């Protein structure tokens, strides 16, 4: 069993910053990929940033110079530092992971989401 739990969302003024956290827990053998997606009202869920194999990172174009993804492997925790926030960043942010459990199964998981609202 694997669970992802996000935290750190909230209301912030344009130009401000937030840091999101995601803790992966359960019977984890390895994490193949872990990242952040977001979904604004009426829009499709989109990739924000992700760690892939080898520790490489990918960022969506609109956030690449403002957001930073990081991780603490000892705590199975993922972070998203969001700076220079804009109203268009308003969305529910979801933690994503592709994780191999101790029983050998490889599955993808989603957190429940955390709301980020940026006021203009």
Helix ranges restricted to H, 1-120? none
- On whether the CB atoms of residues 90 and 40 are closer than 8 A, the answer is yes
pLDDT, tens only, 16-38: 999 999 999 999 999 999 999 99
| Nearest residue to 29 (alpha-carbon basis) of 106, 96, 95, 97 | 106
pLDDT, tens only, 37-59: 999 999 999 999 999 878 899 99
Q: Give kind and range of the element (H or E) at residue 109.
A: strand 106-110
| Mean predicted confidence (pLDDT) in 61-81 | 95
């Amino acid at each position: 069993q694997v669970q992802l739990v996000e935290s750190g969302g909230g209301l912030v003024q344009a130009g401000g910053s937030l840091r999101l956290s995601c803790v992966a827990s359960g019977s984890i053998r390895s994490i193949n990929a872990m990242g952040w997606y977001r979904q604004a009202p009426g829009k499709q869920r989109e990739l924000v940033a992700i760690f892939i194999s080898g520790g490489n990172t990918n960022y969506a174009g609109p956030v690449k110079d403002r957001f930073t993804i990081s991780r603490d492997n000892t705590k199975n925790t993922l972070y998203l530092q969001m700076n220079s926030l804009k109203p268009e960043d308003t969305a529910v942010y979801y933690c994503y992971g592709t994780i191999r459990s101790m029983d050998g199964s490889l599955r993808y998981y989603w957190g429940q989401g955390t709301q980020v609202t940026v006021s203009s």
